[in-house]
Amino acid sequence: MQTVTSIKNAKNRTPLTVITAYDALFASIFNNRTDMILVGDSLNMSFNKKPDTLSATLEIMIYHTNAVCKGAPDTFVICDMPFGTYTDEQKALKNASRVYQETDAHAVKIEGGIERAHIIKALTSNSIAVVGHIGLMPQYVRSEGGYKIRGKDEKDILKLIEDAKAVEKAGAFLLVLEGIKADATKRITEAVSIPTIGIGCGNATDGQVLVWSDMLGFFQEFQPKFVKKYLDGASVVEKAVDEYVKDVQNRDFPAQEHTY
């Protein structure tokens, strides 16, 4: 099982693999397969049909993180700190401590660059392992006026490099980069000594993360360009459920072998 130290040492080595999970059932399938599991607040959209991540609460994240830790006891688990739970150092420390005390998560993830460095520092100096997250930050959707690809010009690239360095200096051991142009991603990754994990950032990061329901084809609302669909999960399930309905209606199920 990965640790904070082994993850830090993975810089410039075999790319790290991360998948999201929200429940014990899928977490147990992913257990020991990827280096890390992220309990992302993206669950608010894929599990809860909400338009964004903003209404996910700490209670929701703790509930799902507990389920994932139960299902994947041999995998490094990261819990997303939801919107509004880390607006100042004291609040962040209180809420991240709850995650550590009420779940077996190994680390928490926080969105934000230089403006959040003091929050990251408050957690890391109190023995809480922090994953940073910069670039396209879903919790900033309203303040930014939408989801915008970052790193399109030199000014923004320099800002992102400054953000990455501030997050690293504050003590984060890993940095998620989301929705950043590939050449900018390469420069950010080279500018820090902690590993970067990309989503929608191309191939230059130290690892990749995908949302499980996107990559396994269960989330059907839309498919972003950066997602590779490894399974057509929804079609597989639809076909199976249709077959079950047909079997029941035809009295083909339960058969003799399913009967006491």
Residues 243/231, Cβ–Cβ less than 8 Å:
no
- Known active-site residue 111: no
- Exactly one of 178, 190, 221, 238 is catalytic; name it: 178
Round to whole Å and give the CA distance between 25 and 55. Answer: 24
68 lies in the binding site for ligand KIV (CB under 6 A): no
The DSSP-derived string for 128-197 is: --EEEEEES-GGGHHHHTS---B--SHHHHHHHHHHHHHHHHTT-SEEEEESB-HHHHHHHHHH-SS-EE
20 lies in the binding site for ligand KIV (CB under 6 A): yes
Stretch that binds ligand KIV, among 6-14, 34-42, 89-97, 120-128 (CB under 6 A): 34-42
In terms of CB distance, is 171 or 207 closer to ligand KIV?
Answer: 207
Strand partners, 168: none
Q: Name the strand (E) or helix (H) holding 100.
A: helix 89-102
Taking residues 107 to 146 in sequence order and writing x for each that binds ligand KIV by CB under 6 A, - otherwise, the string is ----------------------------------------
Alpha helix (H) ranges present in 20-88?
24-30, 43-46, 58-71
Site for ligand KIV in 195-234 (CB under 6 A): 199, 209, 211
Least distance CB 80 / ligand KIV (angstroms): 5
45 lies in the binding site for ligand KIV (CB under 6 A): no
Q: Which listed residue (110, 164, 176, 184) binds ligand KIV by CB under 6 A?
A: 176
Q: Is 77 helix (H, G, I), strand (E, B) or coil?
A: strand
| Cis amide bond preceding 254, omega within 30 | yes
Strand partners, 20: 38
Stretch that binds ligand KIV, among 33-41, 70-78, 98-106, 247-255 (CB under 6 A): 33-41
Stretch that binds ligand KIV, among 39-47, 144-152, 157-165, 214-222 (CB under 6 A): 39-47
Residues that bind ligand KIV (CB under 6 A): 20, 38, 40-42, 80, 176, 178, 199, 209, 211
Instruction: Please identify every residue annotated as catalytic.
Output: 178
